[in-house]
Amino acid sequence: MSIDRRDFLQNAAMAVGLLPFGMSGFKEIKVKANPLPEFASPRIKMGIIGINHGHIYSMANAVIKGGAELVSFYAQEDDLAIAFLKRFPNAKRVKEEKEVLEDPSIQLILSAAIPNERAPIAMRAMLHGKDVMVDKPGITDLNQLKKLRQIQKKTGKIFSVSYSERFENQASEKAGELVKAGAIGKVIQTIGLGPHRRSASSRPTWFFDKKYFGGIITDIASHQFDQFLYYTGSTKGEILGSQVGNWNNKQYPQFEDFGDVIVRGDHGTGYIRVDWFTPGGVKPFGDGRLFILGTEGYIELRKYTDIANKEKGSNLYLVNQKEALYMDCSDVNLTYGHNLVDDVLNRTDTAMTQAHSFLAMELAIKAQKMAKWIDAV
């Protein structure tokens, strides 16, 4: 008797408790794009100081889509500047930082400089009357945080940190809409996993010395603190425990390749784990995941890949009291750049409140500072 191959595979999967996607009871939904305005002419002008991290490309694109015009940029490194000009040929490379700071036409300054240089650049920019958006981590120590808060309060300028794992991922954007709509009830916990690929050969020397990036929790986990605050709606937080270690990179003694944290807020709790152990079998830089637990259901985000079902990213799973849904969020439009330009023009905080921007970094830095060292053997 012949056996159909598809029936054979389905029966085999059921026998070991596995079901291929589409047969697991999840209703599949393709989320339609949310409309965003387009602009015939620039609404603001921006400049850039520091392009040491590749995030600067997506940061610039986000605000350009929001209606900003890139006027000029300052970068010390010729190789980085040449590559940047290939992507943004209309931008003018200037010889000194002050040419960007002192340009009266520029309203917003972006920076993806070496991490410990971002806060000082932001302070100089705000004192020159500019709003600022920096790559994460926007701040690497508590002294920087204290000075930044003082200058921001004095100048009234915007200090925004580009937490790309939320602002540049469509599933994260959709999850925010669902949580606000009450799709899973009251959120009580987030679990954020931020694995990354080390790619040592392509990294600059500062990448392996924590005095430049603040440590693995300050750096990578700032993403997860941002998401914890955002999805739980917390405006306060305390670190219950944290630890870091260097398990498999002993040739870099000032590097950390693992860290985790337990955090409690005024509206929920959170667990965070970050690492530099993404294996070669994963195509993206990491299998970033977020679990959002609510009183009436839960959401899981597979942000960059779904190794069980799909190679592509922006995957959202939602389970509530009535149904189990899979949402392909790849067509969702990202709103951070539009909202930030709106804020620059209207003096609002629709992209991210100033308190949130500071608190996410404060929690990350405090968790790093109090982290117990793991004696990896």
Question: What's residue 377's pLDDT?
Answer: 67
Query: Helix, strand, or coil here: 321?
Result: coil
* CA distance readout (Å), 86 to 28, 63, 92: 40, 18, 12
Residues 217 and 158 reside in one and the same domain:
no
Residue 211's φ and ψ, nearest 5 degrees, are -65, -20
How many whole angstroms separate alpha carbon 312 and alpha carbon 328?
9
State whether 185 and 283 are in the same domain.
yes
Q: The domain containing residue 282 runs over which residues? A: 166-335+366-374
- Measured distance CA(291)–CA(298) in Å, rounded: 7
Q: How many CB atoms lie within 10 A of CB 209?
A: 13
Residues 93, 178 share a domain: no
Among residues 116, 140, 162, the one where a domain terminates is 162
Does a structural domain hold residue 16?
A: no
Whether residue 261 sits in one domain with residue 116: no
Report the domain count for the chain.
Answer: 2
Please check whether residue 155 lies inside any domain of the structure: yes
* Residue 34 domain flag: no
| pLDDT score recorded for residue 165 | 97
Task: State the chain's maximal CA–CA distance in angstroms.
Answer: 82
pTM (2 d.p.): 0.92
Task: Please identify, among 162, 178, 206, the residue that sits at the C-terminal boundary of a domain.
Answer: 162
Q: Are residues 128 and 52 in the same domain?
A: yes
- Going by C-alpha positions, the residue among 348, 287, 325 that lies closest to residue 178 is 325
The answer on pLDDT for 303 being more than 80 is yes
State the pLDDT at residue 19. Answer: 38
CATH code of the domain covering residue 90:
3.40.50.720
Is the pLDDT at 277 greater than 80, yes or no? yes
Distance of alpha carbon 89 from alpha carbon 82, whole angstroms? 10
Averaged pLDDT of the chain: 93
Residue 310: pLDDT band (50, 70, 90) is confident
Which segment of 19-23, 252-256, 300-304, 321-325 scores lowest on mean pLDDT?
A: 19-23
- The sign of the CA dihedral 88, 91, 94, 97 is negative
Cα 222 to its chain centre, rounded Å, is 8
Out of 136, 162, 188, a domain closes at 162
Q: How many CB atoms lie within 10 A of CB 330?
A: 14
Q: Are residues 100 and 180 in the same domain?
A: no
Q: Kindly state whether residue 35 falls inside one of the protein's structural domains.
A: no
Does residue 171 sit in the same domain as residue 99?
A: no
| C-alpha span between 252 and 5 (Å, rounded) | 51
Say yes or no: 329 and 185 in one domain: yes
In a domain, 352, yes or no: no
On whether residue 56 sits in a domain, the answer given is: yes
CATH number for the domain spanning 212: value is 3.30.360.10
For residues 229 and 111, state if they share a domain.
no
22: in domain: no
State pLDDT tens for residues 176-223: 999 999 999 999 999 999 999 999 889 999 999 999 999 999 999 999
Do 108 and 180 reside in the same domain of the chain? Answer: no
Does residue 120 lie in a domain region? yes
